[in-house]
Amino acid sequence: MHPTPDALIVIDIQNDFCPGGALAVAGGDEILAPVNALLEAYQVKVLTQDWHPAGHGSFASSHPGAAPFSVTTLPYGEQVLWPDHCVIGTKGADFHPDLNTDAADLIIRKGFRAGVDSYSAFFENDHETPTGLDGYLRTRGVSRLTLVGLATDFCVQYSALDAARLGYDVTVREDACRAIDLDGSLEAARKAMRAAGVVLEG
């Protein structure tokens, strides 16, 4: 085995984030070919899956009168209220059928607690409840991560910032990501990632 394996973290390439899905990201399905190619090139391969119970606190439908894409304040801070998406057990929560899920070593699910959202693959949106991914990567001897997937300005960004804070060397392959871009959130995310030492490539 390579002494210091590099890990590829593939964020949320699920039907609901692809064209036709409940929270479709423009061009979300265009990244399947590059992501599948990258999956061949890494020693450690992790997929994440956004995985919400019906009635999740991040859904606008759980907040009477709230419009999708509005922002509210929850006990752990600001939260965008989303259309219902990635509900456990639904087709929208499944990985895109063209994603080579067989290549993955680990699938990490996040956002399964009704009261707290989880954009990051490492911590829920309270920034303290861990998903367990850090322990997995450390025990496999990983110190360098490449992140790809959906969406650049939400789950990819939060994962990249947490990973940098945890001490990993982090690269985001922008050619294998697509963004939601709510009110300039893509440029803000790129700026925050660069400031945290994340390398933006592609």
Residues known to be catalytic: 12, 110, 155
Examine residue 50 and tell whether it contacts Zn ion (CB under 5 A).
yes
Site for ligand VGL in 9-48 (CB under 6 A): 12, 17
54 — phi, psi (to 5°)?
A: -55, 140
Selected from 50, 134, 162, 174, the binder of ligand VGL by CB under 6 A is 50
Contact 123, 130 (CB under 8 A): yes
For ligand VGL, give the closer residue by CB, 159 or 171.
159
**Strand 71-74 relative to strand 199-201, pairing:** unpaired
**Strand 169-178 relative to strand 199-201, pairing:** parallel
Please list, in sequence order, all residues whose beta carbon lies within 8 angstroms of the beta carbon of residue 191, skipping any fewer than 6 positions away: none
Stretch that binds Zn ion, among 33-41, 47-55, 98-106, 181-189 (CB under 5 A): 47-55
Site for ligand VGL in 85-144 (CB under 6 A): 119
Examine residue 84 and tell whether it contacts Zn ion (CB under 5 A).
no
Residues that bind ligand VGL (rule: CB under 6 A) add up to a total of 9
Is residue 181 classed as helix, strand or coil in its secondary structure? Answer: coil
